[in-house]
Structure 1
Amino acid sequence: MTAPGKAQAQEQGPLDEEQLIDSRPRNAMNRSGHRQASVFNSLAGCHLHHPIPLVLKLLMLTLFAGILVAILAQGNLCRPCSWDWTFFQGKCYFFSKSQRNWHDSVTACKEAGAQLVIVESAEEQSFLQQTSKSKGVTWMGLSDLNKEGTWHWVDGSPLSSSLGNYWNTGEPNNIGEEDCAEFKNDGWNDGRCENSNFWICKKTATSCSNN
């Protein structure tokens, strides 16, 4: 006769891995589960009742509102010149990054609401000469296209004698029909209007007064 205990073991068969895991002492599982639940409840209680999340939300809302106000205000800020123009003594200057002939340079400046640059003072000349020297040969709004040897700016005004000393030594020499003026090296040079140079546009800066 088979013992009752052995018969019961034979009916159940060998325990698989999952059953072995489940066969751990119930009291051990209960203690571990109770401990985990207590920790979870403590954390949940902290999130539910602690005021920090509300404070963070208020800070984020305030920060967002500040950024929004800054963006809106930026559109109303007065800028004397556009982003790609340079401000100097009440004027805005555009220094081209590409090259064109003299006539196309005049047109490009007109399309931008400006003029191919007219030099009006020694300070302006120094500013323009230094900047153009770092780029390369650059057109200015001066030519003797109407009459050889008589130089006029693009607005029709004649070249003053006080500015005539900015020509490089021996210039203008009109070699090969050179009728358009350019910044070259440390002074001015007369070049062929068909050459491709950089160019400088000039216009009056925007007034930022509240009147």
Structure 2
Amino acid sequence: MNDPKDNRKKQLGPLDEEQLITNGTRYSIKSFGFQPNSGFNSFAGCLSHSHVPWLLQVFFLTVFSVLLVVILVKVSKIPSSQGLAQSKEEKVYQELTQLKAGVDRLCRPCAWDWTYFEKNCYFFSMIQKSWSDSVTACQKVGSQLVVIKSHEEQNFLQQTSKKRGYTWMGLIDMNKESRWHWVDGSPLTLSFMKYWNKGEPNNLGEEDCAEFRDDGWNDTKCDNKKFWICKRPATSCSRK
């Protein structure tokens, strides 16, 4: 007589046995209180309902877990947008600091608000003063009201002052009429007499101070307010 248990065993096909094993595994996991997440369940379900051997299923699950860990580590190492912005800002600041240090090391023959020409520095005022006040203003910055020493210098100063307006130079005849001399005590030479405008100097109403006017020189009253030009030697740059 056949055993009923044997009959039931014979009635089970390969798929039924696999389902029984799978069900048994699922019940065993649940008995320990483990609830896999939906993604993991889908992946595990795919493997469990396939014909892949059990050891391969474990292998695939292990590889999948390792890949997840690697991805999480890589993502955690990517700097945030705020960190990138801060890093870029710090880099720009360092470059500006280095640039400023380089500029500071540059040798400038003249100060920033002075103009260099043929080994001398010239300051062109932005305001107007009387002739004597202009002399004092230049002395305060270690210079003197401009004394012209060459024809090239004359042309440079004439063209520059023409763009600005009537401008004092360091030339007067206060001590003796028609005896013109510079503020450094040197006399006006004949070669420079050609720079007077036509009909000048005419000493019209005690005009004892000279100015740049238009394309030449003019004598005018020293109390009038004009722009002025200071002059001093340029700084020599020592190269190491």
For normalisation by structure 1, the TM-score amounts to 0.73
Q: CA deviation at 1:71?
A: 2.1
Name the structure 2 match of 1:136: 165
Name the structure 1 match of 2:111: 82
* Higher RCO, Cα 8 Å, sep 6+: 1
Distance 1:98-1:42 versus aligned 2 partners, 3 A rule? farther
Deviates more, 1:66-75 or 1:48-57: 48-57
Question: 1:48-103, CA deviations, whole angstroms, 9 ceiling, x for partnerless residues?
Answer: 34599999988776654443232223223211111111111111111101000000
Match of 1:105, SS state, is helix
Partners of 2:164 and 2:92 in 1: CA distance: 43
> In structure 1, what residue type is equivalent to 2:100?
I
Tell me which structure has the larger Cα radius of gyration: 2
Point out the structure with the larger helix share.
2
The counterpart of 1:181, out of the listed 210, 216, 226, is 210
Gaps of 5+ in 1: 1-29, 32-40
The counterpart of 2:188, out of the listed 159, 176, 184, is 159
Q: CA deviation at 1:122?
A: 1.1
Name the structure 2 match of 1:100: 129
> In structure 1, what residue type is equivalent to 2:222?
C
Partners of 1:183 and 1:193 in 2: CA distance: 13
Name the structure 2 match of 1:193: 222
> In structure 1, what residue type is equivalent to 2:168?
W
Question: 1:128-173, CA deviations, whole angstroms, 9 ceiling, x for partnerless residues?
Answer: 1111111111000000011111011000000011111100011101
For normalisation by structure 2, the TM-score amounts to 0.64
Aligned length: 175
Match of 2:190, SS state, is coil
Partners of 1:123 and 1:143 in 2: CA distance: 21
